[in-house]
């Protein structure tokens, strides 16, 4: 089934029992967040809240849109697979491979005169972002966050590059949002240009729409690549865009809610804290840029999707980290490195990458690891595990075995100080380094040293390695006759 908007995706989730409609009245004040947190913990279906306390019928919210699945017969990444039109049992390898294959042929968007996102238009004094059922997600959050699974659209003032990125947005009041724009990310660099010119930065926030839109907005695609072109590639069709009412930007015509406005230069208000993607209430409240809303457009009976960041596994691992691994792999292949696979394990919150590679020369592990850190998608990766091709990087049992049997506890571990880190949010940093994002990295070299004589390298004690081929074939052929079930 073709996915033209969030509602098509919801139909697919329901078809595969990956969505749950909740008709009971639920409070936006923490209750929606608590239910969604439980959804992640249990791998339960995405929660469609149809009766939010204090809001009219039809104003809905969707929690855990790409959360993990524990539905029988489905894979952990089922909802990410369905986003790409794959079967819900698709493996991490298949999803990453599909992403990279489709991304090879970028498909630019098309402009349309209007779209569902224009069914209702609020401008000027009519603007009130609180008309939507925005959740207070975690106890301790600095406010209600409308931007947790969305895209923020900005245009580079020096080029034709239009950046789509996911950056959290907290509600200050009916027409003001607080923004987290790290300097290491594209939006921080773009905003810095506008601020240097003492100009407000035009911004559009698109919430809802085709699920590939938030997916591509949070995977750290290299600069000067328009994420909308990647979204089209993943859809296999161009994304229809419509002009905004008050700023010179275009937004997905299928979006449920669109916020238009400007981020003012040199103005700050206190934002945060927020229960963040790495599993902690990360970073204290601090002054951050503000977005002044000029207009809001939205569909009839709008649906507000949101992600409840916190302990894994949530969208930050089922979707973001999965595609991040694929992007790192693609960047390493461009450099001519003999890598065979890259995977960012779900509980590594995107901070760990496992890379399998051939070992053609001495110190290949350090060469590969530093190449990861040089890429845009590898920017906030702090733990890099390098394994050989006989280890499946998506299989954490095999990875753990490699670490504990092939990585020397002293000679195989290489600390790397002063790597760029995500400012404010990193729990393992002391307060001073956390403030400025002065982080570190570490390399685990789980490859056999190139200077070891071949006869000193241990042989894996596996079925494939230690029994004659003809005996292996006989055992496999006779497996059921031994009384075992077919494997």
Beta strand 413-420 pairing with 438-446: antiparallel
**In which order are the strands placed within the sheet that holds 110-111?**
110-111, 240-243, 250-252
Whole-angstrom distance, CA of residue 446 vs CA of residue 213: 37
Whole-angstrom distance, CA of residue 306 vs CA of residue 137: 9
Phi, psi dihedrals of residue 405, rounded to the nearest 5°? -125, -20
Entry field: residues in the chain: 487
Q: How far is CA 149 from CA 135, 307, 396, 455, in A?
A: 13, 6, 28, 53
Instruction: Catalogue the active-site residues.
Output: 276
In the three-class reduction of DSSP (H, G, I as helix; E, B as strand; rest coil), residue 152 is classed as: strand
Q: At what angle are helices 364-374 and 322-334 packed, to 10 degrees? A: 110
Instruction: Give Cβ neighbours of residue 411 (< 8 Å, ≥ 6 apart).
Output: none
Contact (Cβ atoms closer than 8 angstroms) between residue 71 and residue 16: yes
In the three-class reduction of DSSP (H, G, I as helix; E, B as strand; rest coil), residue 94 is classed as: helix
Beta strand 352-357 pairing with 383-387: parallel
Beta strand 19-22 pairing with 46-49: parallel
């Amino acid at each position: 089934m073709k996915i033209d908007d969030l509602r098509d995706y919801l139909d697919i989730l329901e078809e595969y029992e990956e969505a749950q409609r909740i008709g009971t009245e639920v409070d936006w004040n923490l209750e929606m967040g608590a239910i969604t947190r439980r959804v992640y913990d249990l791998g339960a279906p995405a929660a469609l809240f149809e009766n939010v306390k204090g809001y009219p019928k039809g104003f809905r919210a969707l929690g855990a849109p790409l959360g993990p699945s524990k539905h029988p017969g489905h894979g952990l990444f089922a909802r990410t697979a369905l986003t790409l039109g794959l079967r819900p049992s698709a493996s991490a390898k298949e999803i990453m491979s599909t992403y990279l294959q489709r991304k090879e042929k970028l498909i630019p968007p098309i402009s349309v005169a209007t779209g569902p996102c224009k069914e209702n238009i609020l401008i000027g004094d009519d603007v009130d972002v609180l008309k939507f059922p925005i959740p207070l997600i975690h106890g301790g959050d600095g406010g209600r966050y409308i931007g947790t699974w969305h895209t923020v659209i900005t245009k580079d003032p020096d080029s034709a590059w239009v950046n789509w990125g996911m950056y959290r947005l907290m509600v200050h009041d009916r027409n003001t949002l607080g923004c987290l724009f790290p300097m290491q990310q594209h939006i921080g660099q773009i905003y810095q240009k506008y601020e240097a010119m003492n100009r407000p930065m035009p911004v559009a926030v698109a919430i809802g729409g085709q699920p590939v839109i938030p997916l591509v907005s949070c995977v750290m695609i290299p600069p000067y690549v328009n994420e909308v072109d990647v979204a089209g590639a993943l859809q296999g069709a161009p994304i229809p865009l419509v002009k905004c009412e008050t700023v010179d930007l275009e937004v997905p015509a299928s979006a449920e809610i669109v916020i238009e406005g400007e981020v003012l230069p040199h103005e700050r208000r206190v934002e945060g804290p927020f229960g963040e993607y790495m599993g902690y209430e990360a970073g204290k409240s601090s002054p951050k840029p503000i977005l002044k809303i000029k207009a809001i457009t939205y569909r009839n009976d709008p649906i507000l999707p949101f992600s409840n960041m916190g302990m894994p596994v949530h969208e930050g691992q089922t979707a973001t980290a999965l595609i991040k691994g694929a992007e790192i792999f693609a960047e390493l292949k461009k450099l001519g490195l003999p890598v065979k696979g890259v995977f960012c394990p779900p509980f590594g919150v995107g901070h760990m990458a496992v890379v399998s590679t051939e070992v053609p020369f001495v110190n290949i592990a350090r060469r590969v690891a530093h190449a990861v850190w040089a890429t845009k998608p590898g920017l906030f990766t702090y733990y890099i595990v390098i394994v050989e091709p006989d280890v499946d990087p998506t299989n954490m049992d095999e990875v753990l075995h490699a670490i504990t049997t092939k990585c020397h506890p002293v000679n195989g571990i290489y600390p790397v100080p002063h790597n760029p880190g995500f400012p404010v949010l990193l729990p393992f940093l002391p307060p001073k380094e956390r403030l400025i994002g002065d982080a570190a990295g570490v390399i685990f070299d789980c490859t056999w040293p190139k200077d070891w004589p071949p006869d000193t390298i241990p042989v894996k004690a596996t079925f494939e390695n230690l029994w004659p081929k003809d005996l292996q074939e006989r055992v496999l052929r006779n497996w059921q006759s031994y009384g075992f079930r077919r494997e």
